[in-house]
Amino acid sequence: MATVEAHHDVCSTDVEQLLGRRVRYQKHKPGRYLSVERIPLVAFQIDTVNRFGSRVVLNDGAVVMENAPTVIERAGRIALLLATGEELYFRVE
């Protein structure tokens, strides 16, 4: 998998900054600390970001991450990178 940091300027942000963004699931690198079973395959808006201890939940359980990710946005693509090696990619609509 190519990394998001490859050849362009990178803008890093907090996961809360994704609220209200309309995105489409692109791909993910699976692992046991990232759950994407309920993620819509069509474009959707990120309506909620909830934190329960170290766990981060987007859209009432559509995406569940055991730790807060590093969020990187570049060229219309958003990458959520977890410290455990899992990765989740969205395309901005």
pLDDT tens for 42-83 read 999 999 999 998 899 999 999 999 989 999 999 999 999 998
- Share the mean pLDDT of the chain: 87
Is 74 among the domain residues?
A: yes
Number of domains in the chain: 1
| For residue 5, pLDDT beyond 70 | no
Domain encompassing residue 39: 11-92
Is 3 among the domain residues?
A: no
Is 34 among the domain residues?
A: yes
Is 27 among the domain residues?
A: yes
Element holding 81 (H helix, E strand)? strand 77-81
Is 5 among the domain residues?
A: no
SS (H, E, C) 15-66: HHHHCCCEEEEEEEECECCEECCCCCCCCEECCCEEEECCEEEEHHHCEEEC
- Tally of CA atoms within 13 A in the half-sphere of 67 that contains its CB: 12
Is 85 among the domain residues?
A: yes
Is 82 among the domain residues?
A: yes
Question: Nearest Cα to 41, choosing from 59, 23, 57?
Answer: 23
Q: Which residues contact 13 (CB under 8 A, 6 or more apart)?
A: 71, 72, 73
Is 59 among the domain residues?
A: yes
